[in-house]
Amino acid sequence: MIWYIGRRLLQMIPVFLGATLLIYVMAFYAGGDPIQAIMGDKPLSPAVQDQLRSQYNLDKPLIVQWLIYVGKVVRGDFGVGFNGRPIIEQIRDAFPVTFRLAIIAVVFETILGIVAGVISGLKKGTWIDTTLLMVSLLVIAVPTFVIGFVAQFTLGVKLGVVPVNVGRDASLQNLLLPGFVLGVVSFAYVLRLTRTSITEVATADHVRTATAKGLSRTGVISKHIMRNSLIPVVTFIGADLGSLMGGAIVTERIFNIHGIGSVLYQAINKSESPVIVSVVTIMVMIFLLTNLIVDLLYAVLDPRIRHAK
C-alpha cells in the first residue's frame, strides 16, 4: 500500500506542474501585459514599471518565471499581490469559509443523494423512481444561480428563516442554505449515478446467488449491492469536492460570503494575476489530494482492489 501511495504521488507531480504552467500563462499573459492592467487609466513612470516587472519576475523568460513561482509554492510562499498584501494572508482568511461551505455541500449531496439513489434503484419502474428521476432532471436543468436566488428570496426575504446575506458571519448555521444551493446539482448527479449502479449490481450473479442461499433482503442490499455500487459514487464525490470549492464563486456572490470564491472574483475584476494563480493552484492541489483519498477508499470498498494493490 505504501508503494502504491508513493507511485500515485509521483504521478501527481507532472499533473501539478502542467496545471500550474497552464494557469500561470493564462493568468499573466492571456489578458495582455499585467503591468498595463495595474496601471489602468493611471499612468506609471517607466522606472516604476521596471520595478514592478522585476518584483514579479516579469522581466525574465516565461519558463524562468514559472520555475521561480513553483519553487516558492513548494516552500509555502505564494508571494505578494499587486496591492502589497501577502497572498497567503488573503487565502488563510477566506479558505476556511469556503472549505466549510464545500463540506456542507458534500455532506448534503452524499447523504441525500445516496439515500434517494438507493431508493430509486430498488424501486425501479415505480412512481417513486419516476418522481425522483424527474426531480433530479429538473435540478440539473435549472442553473445554480437561479436556484440560489429563488432560495434566497423565498427563505430569506419572504419567510425570514435564514439570513439573506451571510457577510463575514460565516457560522455553520448561516452556511446551511448556501451549502444546499452549492450541492444541489451534485445531489442530482449522485442520485442518478447511485440509481444506475444499484440497478446494475442488483442483477449481478453474486447477488442472485446470495439471495438463493437464503440471505435476508437487508443483508443482500448492505453486503452485496451497496458496497459494490458505491465505487463510482465515491469517485464522483471525491472529485466533486475540488469542483465545489472552485464553483463556490457563484454561491458566494449570491449570499455575499467572504470566501475563496469572493477572493478570486475580486482578483479577476482587478486583474490581480498573482492572486488568481495562487488561488487556482491551491484548488489544483486540493483536487489531487481528494483523488488520492478516493483511490485509497477503493481498497476499503472492494477487497479485490486492496489485494491487487
Q: Which residue has the cell 513553483?
A: 70
Residues 73 and 76: their CA atoms lie apart, in Å, by 5
CA distances from 251 to 14, 130, 165, 247, 292 (A): 32, 29, 11, 8, 27
Closest CA to 189 of 132, 146, 129, 150: 132
- CA angle in degrees (0–180, nearest 5) for 115-105-93: 160
Residues 256 and 166: their CA atoms lie apart, in Å, by 6
Residues 134 and 177: their CA atoms lie apart, in Å, by 22
Contact between 286 and 239 under an 8 Å Cβ cutoff? The reply is no
Looking at residue 41, its pLDDT comes to 63
> For 204, left (φ over 0), alpha (ψ -120 to 50), or beta?
beta
| Run means of pLDDT, 10 residues per run, the chain, 309 residues | 71 86 80 63 72 77 86 84 81 85 90 90 88 91 87 84 74 84 90 88 74 72 72 80 77 85 82 84 85 74 55
Residues 121 and 197: their CA atoms lie apart, in Å, by 8
Q: Where are the alpha helices (DSSP H) in 75-223?
A: 87-122, 127-141, 144-151, 176-201, 205-212, 217-219
DSSP state letter for 86: B
Residues 71 and 161: their CA atoms lie apart, in Å, by 48
On the 0-12 / 13-18 / 19+ scale of CB atoms within 10 A, 171 is exposed
Cell of 64: 524562468
User: What are the strands, taking DSSP E only, across 44-86?
Assistant: none
- 257: β partners: 167
Contact between 118 and 127 under an 8 Å Cβ cutoff? The reply is no
DSSP state letter for 44: -
> For 167, left (φ over 0), alpha (ψ -120 to 50), or beta?
left
